Amino acid sequence: MLPEKYNPLEGKMFRILDKNGNVLDESLVPEIDNEKLIGMYKTMLLTRCADNKALQLQRQGRMLTYAPNTGQEAAQVGSAAAIEEKDWLVPAFRDLGAWLTKGMSLEKVYLYWFGNEMGSNLPENVKMLPIAVPIATQFNHAVGIAMASNIKGEDEVTIAYIGDGGTSEGDFHEALNFAGVFNAPVVFIVQNNQYAISVSRNIQTKSKTIAQKAVAYGIPGIQVDGNDLLAMYAATKEAVDRARNGGGATLIEALTYRLGAHTTSDDPTRYREDSEVEEWKGKDPLKRLKKYLIDKGLWSEEKDIEQIEEYEKYALEVFKKVEASGNTEPLDIFKYHYAEMPKHLVEQYEEYKAYLEKGGN
């Protein structure tokens, strides 16, 4: 089992590709057919293109505050690609690659950041919770879903995402404790991008790794190179298989870096050096995987340019459709949080509906 071979208490990190896209150990390369591998890279490219477009649109005043993902694509796509359609995905707010991998459309993503409530109204076949902005609360939701899967005898695994800052919240520790005690089939992904807004990971916790926090709760923990798609897929796939076979939860720390700002309201130059950012740009997950694919004869620089141009055009077309959709219908705010609205929301809904019918706004 990988967490035993790469014990975080011994300072070991799991990696398959070096920063230049070269395989360090062929025996570690997971079995992924070429079509899926190329699809994963394309999803990473779409994530990067959609992310860049969202930043441009927000700066033009056409989108609300946005949380960039650039630099974290491998951590997201590599892990989400290891689950199945029947499995649940429980996100935080910086998981664009995971959302797209799971089946959330770019239109829904842009609707959400545009401020339209329909962005959180996902299709029935996409087993994913809405985006969670409150820090770490989604981890308890994930454990609840996983425990319910056990109780109902369903062959499902839940994967949940959080940032390094979220591991300082009580919800994080409560979730790991419950997952351990109840042997919940859940995989926790911590995207350690080195900063919780302006708070450096170095002063976020005294633990040498975040992965080692799993030890206290009796579950496996492993630190993975989060910019290495192959390593993220392999580690997550093993954890998912283990959970599905009754082995319980796993904590995966994806060591990565947020190349952009925390959100479009943030100025990262106030708390980190440009030299640090440049160093991490040399570990770009897209460049690393592209080199690997080209070496295997599965990709080329020409294909890369064509695909980027296609995705940039596609992202803008999707947003124009979202922009033309207008704002959220006020009554829709009440409709999609519960399968059946509780009494207090029904009362508020009826009161507000009557107010609108009388000409209110």
Centroid of chain to Cα 321: 25
Residue 20 burial (C-beta neighbours within 10 Å; 0-12, 13-18, 19+) = exposed
Kindly list the strands in the beta sheet with 158-163, ordered across the sheet, starting from the edge strand earlier in the chain.
13-14, 221-225, 250-255, 186-192, 158-163, 88-90
Q: What is the pTM of this model?
A: 0.95
Q: Following CA atoms 85, 217, 7, 139 in sequence, which dihedral angle do they give, to the nearest 10 degrees?
A: 40
- DSSP letter for 101, please: H
Measuring CA to CA, which residue among 327, 328, 323, 266 is closest to residue 60?
Answer: 323
Tokens 């704002």 locate to 327
Query: What per-residue string of b and e applies to 193-226 under the rule 16 or more CB within 10 Å gives b?
Result: bbbbeeeebeebeeeebbbbbbeebebbbbbbbb
**Alpha helices in the chain, H assignment, sequence order:** 2-5, 34-59, 73-80, 96-102, 106-114, 137-152, 170-181, 229-244, 274-281, 285-295, 301-324, 332-335, 343-357
- For the segment 257-274, what is each residue's pLDDT rounded down to a tens digit? 999 999 999 999 999 999
Q: What pLDDT score was predicted for residue 4?
A: 94
Q: Following CA atoms 191, 1, 153, 147 in sequence, which dihedral angle do they give, to the nearest 10 degrees?
A: -40
Q: Is 128 helix (H, G, I), strand (E, B) or coil?
A: strand
Q: What pLDDT score was predicted for residue 265?
A: 94
With a cut of 90, say whether residue 333 has pLDDT above it: no
Domain with CATH 3.40.50.970 in the chain: 2-327
> Hey, what are 323's tokens?
């922009």
Q: What pLDDT score was predicted for residue 149?
A: 98
From the candidates 257, 262, 288, 292, which is the catalytic residue? 262
With a cut of 90, say whether residue 325 has pLDDT above it: no
Asked if 271 is an active-site residue, the reply is yes
- For the segment 189-202, what is each residue's pLDDT rounded down to a tens digit? 999 999 999 999 99
From the candidates 66, 258, 292, 311, which is the catalytic residue? 258
Asked if 355 is an active-site residue, the reply is no
- Under the banding of pLDDT at 50, 70 and 90, the label for residue 330 is confident
- Under the banding of pLDDT at 50, 70 and 90, the label for residue 327 is confident
Taking all residues of the chain, what is their mean pLDDT, rounded to a whole number? 96
- Under the banding of pLDDT at 50, 70 and 90, the label for residue 117 is confident
CATH number of 2-327: 3.40.50.970
Q: What pLDDT score was predicted for residue 328?
A: 76
In this prediction, residues 278-299 reach a mean pLDDT of 98
- For the segment 233-254, what is each residue's pLDDT rounded down to a tens digit? 999 999 999 999 999 999 999 9
Pairing type for strands 199-200 and 221-225 reads unpaired
Asked if 59 is an active-site residue, the reply is no
In this prediction, residues 302-313 reach a mean pLDDT of 98
Q: What pLDDT score was predicted for residue 359?
A: 85
- For the segment 51-68, what is each residue's pLDDT rounded down to a tens digit? 999 999 999 999 999 999
From the candidates 59, 271, 337, 355, which is the catalytic residue? 271
Q: What pLDDT score was predicted for residue 82?
A: 98
Range in 144-148, 167-171, 234-238, 329-333 the model is least confident about: 329-333
